[in-house]
A and B are shown apart, each in its own frame.
Chain A
Amino acid sequence: MKTQQGSGLKTVLARYGSFGVLFVITLAMSLANKQFLTLPNLINVARQVSINTIIAAGMTFIIITAGIDLSVGSLVALSSCVAMIIIEATGSSLLGIGAGILVGGAAGAFNGAFVAVAGIPPFIATLAGLTIYRGIALIITGGTPIIRFEGGFLSLGQGVLLGVPVPVIIMAIVVILMDFLLTRTTFGAHIYSVGGNVEASRLSGIKVGKVKFLTYVMGGMLTALAGMILMGRLSSAQPNTGEGFELDAIAAVILGGTSLMGGRGTIWGTMVGAFIIGILNNGFNLMAVDAHFQLVAKGVIILLAVLLDRYLKRKQA
Chain B
Amino acid sequence: MSDNSESKVSDNDGLRAPEGASGSPAGLPAGLSVEGISKGFPGVQALDDVFFSLRRGEVHAILGENGAGKSTLLKILSGALQPDSGRILLDGTEVHLRNPKSASDAGVAAIYQELSLVPWLSVAHNLFLGREKMVGRFVMSPKKLHRKASEVFSALGLSLDPNALAGNLGMAEQQLVEISRAFSRNARFILMDEPTASLTETEINLLFKKIETLKKAGVGILYISHRLEEIFRIADRVTVMRDGKSVYSGLAGELSLPELISTMVGRSIGNHYPKEAVSPGEVLLEAEDGVSGPEGILFTLRKGEVVGLAGLVGAGRTEWARKVFGADPDPEIRLRISGTEVTVNSPRHARDLGLGMVPENRKDHGLISGRSVLHNITITILDWVSRFAIVDRRRQSAVSAEYIGKLSIKCPSDSADITTLSGGNQQKAVLAKWLARRGKIIILDEPTRGIDVGAKLEMYQQMNALCREGKGIILISSDLPELLSMSDRLYVMHERRFVASISREEASQERVLAYASGLNDSQILRNGSEGV
Within 8 Å of chain B (Cβ to Cβ): is A60? no
Q: Closest CB of chain A to B142's CB: distance in Å?
A: 33
- Bound complex: CA of A6 vs CA of B43, how far in Å? 8
Contact with B along A179-216 (1 / 0, CB 8 A): 00000111101101100110111111111000000000
Which residues in B have their C-beta under 8 angstroms from that of A184? 390-391, 393
Which residues in A have their C-beta under 8 angstroms from that of B413? 1, 3-4, 7
Known: A186-B391, A204-B380, A205-B348. Contact between A7 and B366, CB under 8 A?
Answer: no
Which residues in A have their C-beta under 8 angstroms from that of B412? 1-4, 7
Within B394-419, the residues touching A (CB, 8 Å) are 412-413, 415-417
- Bound complex: CA of A3 vs CA of B419, how far in Å? 13
Q: Which size bracket describes the interface of A in this complex?
A: 20 to 34
Q: Closest CB of chain A to B445's CB: distance in Å?
A: 11
Within 8 Å of chain A (Cβ to Cβ): is B351? yes
- Bound complex: CA of A4 vs CA of B420, how far in Å? 11
Within 8 Å of chain A (Cβ to Cβ): is B16? no
Within 8 Å of chain B (Cβ to Cβ): is A264? yes
- Bound complex: CA of A77 vs CA of B37, how far in Å? 63
- Bound complex: CA of A199 vs CA of B390, how far in Å? 24
B415 touches A203 (CB 8 A): no
- Bound complex: CA of A192 vs CA of B415, how far in Å? 14
B375 touches A192 (CB 8 A): yes
Interface segment among B50-58, B218-226, B264-272, B381-389: the answer is B381-389
Within 8 Å of chain B (Cβ to Cβ): is A263? yes
B391 touches which one: A185, A200, A202, A206 (CB < 8 A)? A185
| Residue among A3, A7, A192, A204 having the largest count of chain B Cβ atoms under 10 Å | A204
Give B348's nearest chain A residue, CB to CB: A205
B327 touches which one: A2, A4, A202 (CB < 8 A)? A202
Give B351's nearest chain A residue, CB to CB: A205
Within 8 Å of chain A (Cβ to Cβ): is B247? no
Within B114-158, the residues touching A (CB, 8 Å) are none
A186 touches B371 (CB 8 A): no
Which residues in A have their C-beta under 8 angstroms from that of B380? 204-205
A7 touches B383 (CB 8 A): no
Known: A3-B420, A203-B357, A204-B433. Contact between A189 and B382, CB under 8 A?
Answer: yes
A197 touches B386 (CB 8 A): no
- Bound complex: CA of A205 vs CA of B436, how far in Å? 13
A200 touches B364 (CB 8 A): yes
Contact with A along B328-341 (1 / 0, CB 8 A): 00000000000000
Known: A2-B43, A202-B327. Contact between A263 and B370, CB under 8 A?
Answer: yes
Inter-chain CB contacts under 8 Å: number: 101
Q: Closest CB of chain B to A13's CB: distance in Å?
A: 13
A6 touches B42 (CB 8 A): yes
- Bound complex: CA of A185 vs CA of B396, how far in Å? 12
Q: Closest CB of chain A to B429's CB: distance in Å?
A: 11
Which residues in B have their C-beta under 8 angstroms from that of A192? 368, 371, 375
Give A197's nearest chain B residue, CB to CB: B368
Give B325's nearest chain A residue, CB to CB: A203
Within 8 Å of chain A (Cβ to Cβ): is B350? yes
- Bound complex: CA of A203 vs CA of B364, how far in Å? 11
Contact with B along A1-24 (1 / 0, CB 8 A): 111101100000000000000000
- Bound complex: CA of A202 vs CA of B44, how far in Å? 33
Q: Closest CB of chain B to A250's CB: distance in Å?
A: 20
- Bound complex: CA of A157 vs CA of B351, how far in Å? 48
Within 8 Å of chain A (Cβ to Cβ): is B262? no
Q: Closest CB of chain A to B56's CB: distance in Å?
A: 38
Give A186's nearest chain B residue, CB to CB: B382
Give B393's nearest chain A residue, CB to CB: A184
Q: Closest CB of chain B to A185's CB: distance in Å?
A: 5
A203 touches B382 (CB 8 A): no
Known: A190-B382, A205-B380. Contact between A200 and B367, CB under 8 A?
Answer: yes
Within 8 Å of chain A (Cβ to Cβ): is B359? yes
Within 8 Å of chain A (Cβ to Cβ): is B347? yes
Known: A3-B413, A186-B382. Contact between A199 and B365, CB under 8 A?
Answer: yes
Q: Closest CB of chain B to A8's CB: distance in Å?
A: 8
Known: A3-B43, A3-B420, A4-B416. Contact between A202 and B379, CB under 8 A?
Answer: no
Known: A184-B390, A205-B348. Contact between A3 and B368, CB under 8 A?
Answer: no
Within 8 Å of chain A (Cβ to Cβ): is B509? no
Give A9's nearest chain B residue, CB to CB: B42
B389 touches A187 (CB 8 A): yes
Which residues in A have their C-beta under 8 angstroms from that of B327? 202-203
Within 8 Å of chain A (Cβ to Cβ): is B12? no
- Bound complex: CA of A204 vs CA of B435, how far in Å? 12
- Bound complex: CA of A204 vs CA of B365, how far in Å? 9
Give A195's nearest chain B residue, CB to CB: B370
Known: A197-B367, A205-B350, A207-B348. Contact between A186 and B383, CB under 8 A?
Answer: yes
Within 8 Å of chain A (Cβ to Cβ): is B529? no
- Bound complex: CA of A205 vs CA of B384, how far in Å? 14
Known: A7-B416, A184-B390, A204-B433. Contact between A197 and B375, CB under 8 A?
Answer: no
A7 touches which one: B351, B359, B415 (CB < 8 A)? B415
- Bound complex: CA of A202 vs CA of B368, how far in Å? 10
Which residues in A have their C-beta under 8 angstroms from that of B352? 205
Within B297-333, the residues touching A (CB, 8 Å) are 325, 327
Which residues in B have their C-beta under 8 angstroms from that of A193? 368, 371, 375, 379
Q: Closest CB of chain A to B337's CB: distance in Å?
A: 16
- Bound complex: CA of A192 vs CA of B370, how far in Å? 9
Within 8 Å of chain A (Cβ to Cβ): is B205? no
Which residues in B have their C-beta under 8 angstroms from that of A263? 368-371
A185 touches B368 (CB 8 A): no
Q: Closest CB of chain A to B121's CB: distance in Å?
A: 23
| Residue among A2, A190, A203 having the largest count of chain B Cβ atoms under 10 Å | A203
Which residues in B have their C-beta under 8 angstroms from that of A189? 375, 379, 382, 391
- Bound complex: CA of A205 vs CA of B379, how far in Å? 9
- Bound complex: CA of A93 vs CA of B255, how far in Å? 85
Within A139-191, the residues touching B (CB, 8 Å) are 184-187, 189-190
Contact with A along B192-232 (1 / 0, CB 8 A): 00000000000000000000000000000000000000000
Q: Closest CB of chain A to B329's CB: distance in Å?
A: 12
Q: Closest CB of chain A to B133's CB: distance in Å?
A: 33
Which residues in A have their C-beta under 8 angstroms from that of B415? 4, 7
A201 touches B368 (CB 8 A): yes
Which residues in A have their C-beta under 8 angstroms from that of B368? 192-193, 196-197, 200-201, 204, 263
- Bound complex: CA of A192 vs CA of B372, how far in Å? 11
- Bound complex: CA of A185 vs CA of B393, how far in Å? 10
A201 touches B379 (CB 8 A): yes
Q: Closest CB of chain B to A57's CB: distance in Å?
A: 18
Which residues in A have their C-beta under 8 angstroms from that of B369? 196-197, 263
Q: Closest CB of chain B to A203's CB: distance in Å?
A: 5
A185 touches B389 (CB 8 A): yes
- Bound complex: CA of A290 vs CA of B64, how far in Å? 64
Not counting A186-B391, A197-B365, a sample of 13 additional A-B residue pairs whose C-beta atoms are within 8 angstroms of each other reads A1-B412, A1-B413, A3-B44, A6-B42, A184-B391, A186-B389, A189-B379, A193-B379, A196-B370, A200-B368, A203-B325, A204-B368, A205-B351
List 6 contacting pairs A-B, 8 Å CB cutoff, sorted by A. A6-B43, A7-B412, A193-B379, A197-B364, A199-B365, A204-B380
A: which residues have CB within 8 A of B?
1-4, 6-7, 184-187, 189-190, 192-193, 196-197, 199-207, 263-264
Closest 3 CB pairs of A and B: A2-B43, A205-B351, A3-B412
